[in-house]
Structure formats: C-alpha cells, structure tokens
Chain A
Amino acid sequence: MTDLPVTTEVGQGAAAQERPALGPWARALRKLVADRAAMGALGLFVLIVLACLAAPLYATYVANTDPFTSNIDGTTMVDGQSVALIEPSTEGLGLGSVPLGPTWDIRNYFLGADAQGRDVASRLLYGGRNSLLIAGTSTILCLVLAALTGLIAGFFGGMIDIVISRLLDVLWAFPIYLLAISLSIVLITKGFDIGPISITSGSLELPIFIIGIVYVPYVARPIRGQVLALKESEFVLAAIGLGVPSYRILFRDILPNVMTTLIVFVPLMVAINMLTESALSFLSIGVQPPDASWGTIIQDGQDLIYTRPMVAIAPGIAIVLSVLALNILGDGVRDALDPRAKLRFR
C-alpha cells in the first residue's frame, strides 16, 4: 500500500517529462474544464442561449403564434373547449379582465397569455434574445473602451493619465442606475447623433450604447492599475530602451498581459449588463414595445401580478438563472486565470 503513491508519482513525473509543457492558456482552460460548477453553469447558460436563439422556430412551428401582435379578442382551444385569451370578469360588478393562465401545453400558450393576448412563452424566448444581445454587445463595447482608456492612461501617464482618470472618476461618481436612467430619458426621445455615430431612438443600439458606457470606469480602473505596474517591468523597460514604438509596446507587450483580467470581466459584465438592461426596460427606457426583453415582460407582468403572476415570474426566473450561471462561470474563469484568486479561495 505504501508503494502506491510513490509509483503513481514517478509515473506522473515520467509522463510529464514526455509531454511538452502546457502554455498558460491551455493550463487555464484545463483548470476551467476541471471546475465542475463552472462547467455546469456554462452548460446551463448555453442551454438558455440556444433556447432563445430558437425563439422564431418555437413561435412559428410549435406555438403557431405571433408574439408581437395584439390578440385581445382571440380565442384558443384548451381541453377541447374554446376559451378567450382575455376573459372579462363576470363576478360582482364585472370589472376588469384576466388573460389566459398557463396551459402547460408546450404547443399552446404554455405559460399563458399577457394582457395583449400574446403567448408569454414565445415572448420569453424572444425577450431573451434581446436581453442576451444587449448584455453581450454592451459588454464588448464596455471592455473595448475600458481597455483602450486603461492602457492609454496607465502607459502614457502624466497629463493624459490625469485627464482620463478624472473623467472616469466623474463618470463613476454618478450612481450607475441614475446615470443610465438619465441618459436613457434624454436619448430615448431624440436618439444619439454625434459625428459618425448615429443611433435612432427606440433601436436596440441605444440601450447597448448606454449600458456599454456607464460601466467603462468599473473595468478601466483596474486595467490602468495593472498597466502602471507592467510599465515598470523589465521586459517593457527593455522594449522602451530598444526604441520600440509605444503602440507596439502597448498592443504586443502590455495588452496580452492584461487580457486575462479582461477575460475574467466578460462573464461578470454580461451578468451585470443583463441586470441593468432588465432594470432599464422595466422602467420603459430600454427595449421599446412591442419588442420584448426580460425586463419589459416583467413590466407587463407587474400589472398582472395578482391574477397572472407567471407573466412576471417566468422572465424573473430566466434572469436569475442566467445571472447565476454567468457569476459561477465568472468565478471559474477567474480561478483558472488568476493565481492570486486561487490562493485566496483555497
């Protein structure tokens, strides 16, 4: 029995000697793949994404419905009987009306109808597409802008650093939601039109742009800090000493070294941006009707919370699952790429 570990160790050592050494990215990927929680979260998130991508297929071929057209006087068959999608109240004074509740039949108003008589399940999938699209695209925009500002401020220092850093401080000094809401209210009526950048009001680009902008300081500041440290490292000093142009040092020597930080931010920012998008849409300053996002569906459901709670609960669950999956995945990515985090948690 005592020989076994020794044998195993010798065997492993021999195998390691035979294989070429793994690069840092491959090592990180191997660690990530070995993280069961992270892989489970990734699987769940991929499932959600695939389901949302399949929204047109579901609406057209399974549910046979148009989730963007009002169907207030419509009817459907439930248990062989024709029922109204919006049923007027017959009790007491006959006030109000109630939409069809969940049928739990995947082909027919699975999660019921909303106040416009539209299929909630189809809208949930379409809404997910918009929520994920906005969260994903605004994350890319945010990370690109943050990387650029962080790299330039940290590397060039001096006046450039002071100006950029103070601008980021001013932006970050605003409460994020207050800033996002203010921008949305201003831009939602007129759109955005400065120089070559033109975004029409009511388009999906608007929430992408707003959300992408407001979180730039959150990412840019740690990037700048990292660049400040890297700037003093020997390989950068050597490059400067050899007369390598600044842009080459920035993009060939420094950027690859901050890339891990940016990658760690990806799932976390997607989760944060998804929540921000939902909040803005819930306040009617994000995705505009009849387009859907999980936030707008929750808003629709808010008015039915006493009678048809599923309209609000379903997108709520979708948001919770997506954000949870992204956060767990984000932790896994950080553990895989950031050795200090590993030391901290294990």
Chain B
Amino acid sequence: MTDNARGFLDDLELDALTELVNLGVSRAAASLREMIGGEQVHLSVPSVSLVGRSRAIEILSKSEPGKLVAVHQIFEGPIYGRALLIFPETKSLELVRAVTSMALSIDDIIDLEHEALAETGNVILNSCLATMANQLRRTLKISLPEIFRGDGQTLFGAATAPQASDAVVFVYINFTVRRGDIQGYIAMLMDMLSLTALKGLLDEYIQRTIDGSEPSPDALA
C-alpha cells in the first residue's frame, strides 16, 4: 500500500498533533513514574510520524525483532481508533515487577502479570488519550484494556486495525525506564476517515491557540 497518511496533514497541523501527543505522553510518563515509585521515565523526543500500516510494521520489526506484547484500547468519538502500549515480551515481567513495588514473590508476580499489564496500559493510555481529548475539547469513550501478543504484523494487522481500511496512522514514541531495562512504544492507529476528522479538530485547536482567548482545559482539570 502507499503511505497515504504522509502528507495528509500540513506542517502546522503536524506540529499541533506533535504538541498534543507531547502533552499526552508527558502526562502518561508522570503516571508511569508514580506507578514505579518515582523512578525516572525517559521519553524519546515525540516526533510524531504518520505512516501507513506496512511502514509501521517495518519500523517496529526493525527495532524490535522479537515477540512483543501490547496493551490495546479502542477510543471512539469524533475520532475512532486504537491506542497501543507496546514492549518486548521478554521485558513484561520486569515491568510488572516495577509496578508491583510492594513485596511480591515471583509466583505472585507471574500470577499478576496479565492484570498488571492491563492496569499499567490502562493508566498510561488513558492519561495520554484524556489529555489529548481535553485539548481538542472533545470527549472520547475509551474501552477496557485488552492484551495482544505477537510481532509487529500481528499488532498492526487485522486483529487490531480500526477497520478493514489500509490507511493507518502510526504515532510512535519510545520510553525507557529502569536505566534502560524496560523500553516500549506508544502507538495510535486511525483510519483515513478519523484522520480527516482529526485534521478538522487540529485546525480548531490551532485557531484557539492563535486567538489565545481561552485557557487550556488542562489548566483547569
């Protein structure tokens, strides 16, 4: 397929989307930091890329050739899509250990793995999506978290694609915690219909920012 997502947003719209993702991910990082007992969470510079599905799979497969685990939530409203928190499967117990800072045996950690992954994903993805929704002055309904395991093809394939449509937006950013022991990615997948709606919302956001007449809703929240 062609990367028809690329070039869909103009420079200013892409800049606004990057700013929104930046705010959302910063909030998510603060949440993750709380969950792991105040340890520093490093985020890569949030350069947002709009790429097609095949390019998204290629990027992920290149940087993470092994098996991956993803916590996945659907968001619905004026835009519809899926948000994923992705990391290498080999690191999942490490992440669970980090968020279950209370003294737990290895058996308990294994027992809690699924729930801990779901809850961690829930907190991080909700922080990110809620911040973005507030900035766009819209409401998104966010589903319960689901866990997927597999490679990039599985995660961005039919099982998690918004619709049968080929056009997918892949917003990715990687994060590092525990001195580099745990790395992961946040991705958002939308189809072209949602991307068109998002373009309109970004234009409104840009206009509000230029007017500067209203305070940010997050400043009040």
Do the two chains belong together in a single complex?
A: no
